[in-house]
Amino acid sequence: MPRTRTFRGHRTPVAAALGAALLVPLAAGCGGKSDDASAGGGKTTIKVLAAASLTDVFQKAGAAYEKAHPDTVVKFSYAGSQQLAAQVEQDFPADALVTADTRTMDGLKGKTGTPSVIAHNRLVIATGEGNPKKVKDLKGLTDSKLKVVLAAPEVPVGRYSKQVLDEQHLKVRPVSQEQDVRGVLSKVELGEADAGIVYATDAMTAPGKVDAVQVPDDQNAIAAYPAATLKVSEHKKQADAFVTWLRSAEAQKILRDAGFQKP
């Protein structure tokens, strides 16, 4: 298995600025106290800030949780982990947070409860369907004729990408740097880039649109996904229950089916 790398350190001012820019759209997506009333029947709505790479799997997980817990409605807001962290630092009203790295979560001590890792992920090289440029490995991304897109270095997948490229002494000049992994995937899907580094699970969400070139274990990195209840939560009991459920057999099966690795 590839080595687990934990990235620690401070976030840049860029991350905070990006998070601040999301205040309005996230507020619109998550709602406020009125969500409880709109749910009806005495239901409680919890708002979960989640890394963009969890978009597809959490839609299924949320539906499964609501079926098993009919008194709770789960609303998700997705973005790059660094953007979500900026929201948490500004005490944005939400109940739980799931990031794509431990560095981001660790930087929020004092804002969250004790985090627990719910899943792991790994990197692959995403190419257009059929791999028309015949990208075989990380070294292939250094071809100056290739249009490569990566996530920005303050984004978890961007840090993981930089780490594995640096360890192989490879210099890649991306045509763009995206603010979350779905931005990278989209560029490849649309043909705006020939290749990009994404999580394995993201490549799986685009069958028939992208191919995934595997990165060998000894050149790869494993991303850890910690989840925690936020201290600003007005529904700590329900938020704690959801975070705990993410490590349950039911939730873990949903994550495994989507390609995520065990905690």
| Distance from C-alpha of 95 to C-alpha of 30, rounded to nearest angstrom | 10
Q: What's residue 254's pLDDT?
A: 98
Task: List, as one string, the DSSP characters of 48-110.
Answer: EEEEGGGHHHHHHHHHHHHHH-TTEEEEEEEE-HHHHHHHHHTT-S-SEEE-S-HHHHHTTBT
Which whole number is the average pLDDT over 68-94?
Answer: 97
Fold (topology level) of 121-219: D-Maltodextrin-Binding Protein; domain 2 (3.40.190)
What is 13-120+224-257's CATH superfamily? Periplasmic binding protein-like II (3.40.190.10)
Task: Of 40-44, 93-97, 200-204, 223-227, give the lowest mean pLDDT range.
Answer: 40-44
Asked whether residue 21 carries a pLDDT value surpassing 50, the answer given is no
Average pLDDT value for residue range 36-43: 58
Domain boundaries for CATH 3.40.190.10 within the chain: 13-120+224-257, 121-219
Q: Provide the 3-class DSSP secondary structure of residue 116.
A: strand
Between the CA of residue 100 and those of 10, 34, 49, 170, what are the distances in Å? Answer: 16, 29, 11, 24
Which pLDDT score is estimated for 184? 98
> Across the chain, what does the average pLDDT equal?
88
pLDDT for 201: 97
When pLDDT is cut at 50, 70 and 90, the band that residue 95 belongs to is very high
From the list 180, 178, 167, 140, the residue with the least C-alpha distance to 55 is: 180
pLDDT > 50? residue 24: no
User: Is the predicted pLDDT of residue 36 greater than 50, yes or no?
Assistant: no
Judge whether 87 and 22 are in contact, CB under 8 Å.
yes
Kindly tell me if the per-residue pLDDT of 195 is higher than 80: yes
The stretch 108-118 carries a mean pLDDT of 97
pLDDT band at 41 (very low <50, low <70, confident <90, very high): low
pLDDT one-digit tens code per residue, 209-224: 999 999 999 999 999 9
Provide CB contacts within 8 A for 231, sequence distance 6+: 110, 111, 112, 113
Asked whether residue 45 carries a pLDDT value surpassing 60, the answer given is yes
Q: Is the dihedral of CA 207, 188, 11, 9 positive or negative?
A: positive
pLDDT for residue 42: 86
d(CA 206, CA 202): 7
What are the φ and ψ backbone dihedral angles of 118, each rounded to 5 degrees? Answer: -105, -15
pTM of the model as a whole: 0.83
Q: Is the pLDDT of residue 88 over 50?
A: yes
**pLDDT tops 50 at residue 192:** yes
